[in-house]
Amino acid sequence: MRHLMSPMDFSVEELEKLMDLAGDIEANPAKYAHACEGKKLATLFYEPSTRTRLSHEAAMLNLGGNIMGFSSADSSSAAKGESVSDTIRTISCYADICAMRHPKEGAPMVACRHSSIPVINAGDGGHQHPTQTLTDLLTIRSLKGHLGNMTIGLCGDLKFGRTVHSLIHALVRYPGIRFVLISPEELRLPGYIRSDVLDKNEIPYEEVVRLEDALPNLDLLYMTRVQKERFFNEEDYVRMKDFYILDMKKMALAPEDMYVLHPLPRVNEISVEVDADPRAAYFKQVQYGVYIRMALILTLLEIEVK
Ligand code: CP
C-alpha cells in the first residue's frame, strides 16, 4: 500500500505517468466517471482549507465515489483529546483512502504508520504540501510544455510556506532549474532546505529582497501569501503582510511569457487587476488541481481504467 507524504515519494518517471493520466482525465472525463464506484474518500482536516479539501472531494465525486470527513479539529473527537493514530485506525474502518491536513509537521506520517488505507498528506504545518506540488508541476508542464530549463522566482513567505518547500524538492530533479528566492530577510527559505536540497544538488540560486529586480529574468513567478497562522505574534505578521504586492506596474517589468502561479488563498500579494493579464495562471492552477488529484486517487487505489 502506498501513501503520499512528500513529492519525493514519486520518482520523476512516476510523476510523468501521473501527469499523463491527469491529461487523459481532462480530455476524456466520461471514461473515468465510474472508476471509483463503491469507494469512499475521507477528508480529515484539522486546519482550514477551501481548495485542498474540496478538490479532493470533487476528484472523488468525479470518479463516481463517495466522500465523508470533517473540516476542523473542533468538529472531530480531536477536540476531546483523541490522538491522530486512534483517529486513523477508526477511519480505516470507514473509508478506502483519506486526505489529512494537520497543523503539526509529521502528523500525516504518524497517521500512515497506523493506517490500513492510503493516506495523502494534504499539508502538515510549515513542512510539506505534496498535492499542491503535483498541481503546480502539472500546471507548469501544461503552460510551458516542459519542467526543466527555466528560472523560477519564488516570492513571499519562503520560511513558513510549505508549498514552496515541496515545490523546491520536486523541481530540483529536473535539469536546468534555477531559482530566484525573493523574500524579506525574516522570511528567507530555511537553511536546511538551502543546504540539504539546493546546495546538495548544485542548483543555482540567488536570494533577493526586491521583486522588481528579479522580474525581468524570470520564466515563472510563484507568489505566496505570508502565512499568518505560523507567526508567533500579530505585530510581526502585520509588518510583513504587504511586503510584496504584484500589480500591473510590476508586471510590465516581466517577460511576455512569464506565467504567475499562486497556490491560493491570496490576500493582498497579487492585485486583482493582474487577474485579467493572460500571464495570470492561478485559477487555471486550481482546475489542474482536480485532474491531478483524480489521477492520484486512482493511482493510490491501484485502479486502472482501460
Ligand atoms: N492551496 C491550498 O492549500 O489552499 P487551501 O488552504 O484553500 O486548501
pLDDT in tens, 222-262: 999 987 777 778 888 888 888 899 999 999 999 999 999 99
Residue 263 lies in a domain: yes
Question: What confidence tens digit (pLDDT) does each residue in 21-68 have?
Answer: 999 999 999 999 999 999 999 999 999 999 999 999 999 999 999 999
| Domain match, 31 and 120 both | yes
Candidate of 264, 285, 290, 292 to mutate for ligand 1, largest count of ligand atoms within 8 Å of Cβ: 264
| Domain match, 144 and 79 both | no
Q: Is 129 one of the catalytic residues?
A: yes
Q: Which of 3, 40, 52, 224 is catalytic?
A: 52
Domain of residue 224, CATH code:
3.40.50.1370
Note down the domain range covering 163.
Answer: 130-285
**Whose Cα sits closest to atom 4 in ligand 1?**
51
| Domain match, 67 and 36 both | yes
Residue 241 lies in a domain: yes
pLDDT-based confidence at 187, cuts 50/70/90?
very high
| Domain match, 69 and 117 both | yes
The mean-pLDDT minimum among 119-123, 159-163, 166-170, 172-176 falls in 159-163
| Domain match, 123 and 98 both | yes
How many domains, the chain?
A: 2
Question: What confidence tens digit (pLDDT) does each residue in 189-227 have?
Answer: 999 999 999 999 999 999 999 999 999 999 999 999 987
CB 10 within 8 A of CB 302: no
For residues 2-24, average pLDDT = 97
pLDDT of res. 154: 98
Q: What is the pTM of this model?
A: 0.95
- Reading the block at residue 74, the C-alpha cell is 473542533
| Domain match, 175 and 63 both | no
Q: Which residues line ligand 1 (CB under 6 A)?
A: 49-52, 123, 132, 263-265
- Is the model's pLDDT at 108 over the cut of 80? yes
Candidate of 43, 47, 132 to mutate for ligand 1, largest count of ligand atoms within 8 Å of Cβ: 132
| Domain match, 175 and 219 both | yes
| Domain match, 135 and 97 both | no
